[in-house]
Amino acid sequence: MATAKDRTPLRRVDARASVERITAAGRTVLGTGEGSLEQIAAQAGVGIATLYRHFPNREAIVRAVLDDILETDLLPLVDRAADAPHPRQSLQDIATHLLDLITQERGLVTFASNFADVAVDALQRFSTSLHPLLLRAQQQGEIRPDLTADDIPRFLVMAVAGLALPGTAPSLRARFIALLFDSLSPANATPLPPLRPGEGDLRTAISNVTRT
């Protein structure tokens, strides 16, 4: 007879499988446009109570889908860029691909009431993997030396906020992502003003915008 201790690992495996199915279902449903938690639960083959047990609100679903996008679709690009001859171009390609992916998930931006705040979470974690690429681009003189690792998520959130809205044409995204990355060029760059203590928190800035 199985004991409670024996059943605990099985419950953990079942819970992990449910989370993975719901996350995959979230990508599928949101990729079609407007969706609901009930549709995601049905696509995952779980009851709505099971979905709420793992994902208590829409933001939790969007966070999981964003994390999945970054891990499965973007981290391989970062890994392949480790030895690329032009790291700035690699960073630009990664940012462009991120915008393409978010736009493909057509309901992702509109499903959560505070998508920008959710995006901050995901991009702040993801930016750690981009730091070595940034350093190499600076060492090769391709990116201004006063840009810091903390600037990366803010830069990416700015791009997502302006260029990943539903209906934005790929040519428009490509045009303005090129313009954004040109601003990182060290040639003739104006030195960046320093941040005062407590003024660089991206989450606070986004929260102030979403409350207005």
The DSSP-derived string for 93-139 is HHHHHHHHHHHHSTTHHHHSTTHHHHHHHHHHHHHHHHHHHHHHHHH
The pLDDT, as a whole number, for residue 104 is 83
pLDDT value for 167: 73
One domain, residues 43 and 100: no
* pLDDT tens for each residue of 155-199: 888 888 888 776 778 888 888 899 989 989 888 788 888 877 665
Q: Which pTM does this prediction carry? A: 0.78
Residues 136 and 165 in one domain: yes
CATH classification at residue 46: 1.10.10
- Between the CA atoms of 136, 124, 28 and 100, what dihedral angle is there, to the nearest 10 degrees? -40
Q: How many domains does the chain have?
A: 2
Query: 41, 56, 71 — which closes off a domain?
Result: 56
- Give the amino acid at 97: H
pLDDT tens, position by position, 128-162: 899 999 999 999 999 999 998 888 888 888 888 88
Say whether both 92 and 177 belong to one domain: yes
Q: Is residue 167 located within the same domain as residue 152?
A: yes
| Higher pLDDT among residues 24 and 109, named by residue | 24
Asked if pLDDT for residue 23 goes beyond 90, the answer is: yes
Average pLDDT over residues 38-65: 95
Task: Please tell me whether residues 119 and 194 are part of one structural domain.
Answer: yes
Choose one of 56, 75, 96: the last residue of a domain: 56
For residue range 58-101, list pLDDT tens digits in order.
999 999 999 999 999 999 999 999 889 999 999 999 999 998 88
The verdict on 102 and 15 lying in the same domain is no
Domain residues for 111?
Answer: 57-211
Task: Quick: pLDDT tens for 117-131.
Answer: 888 888 888 888 999
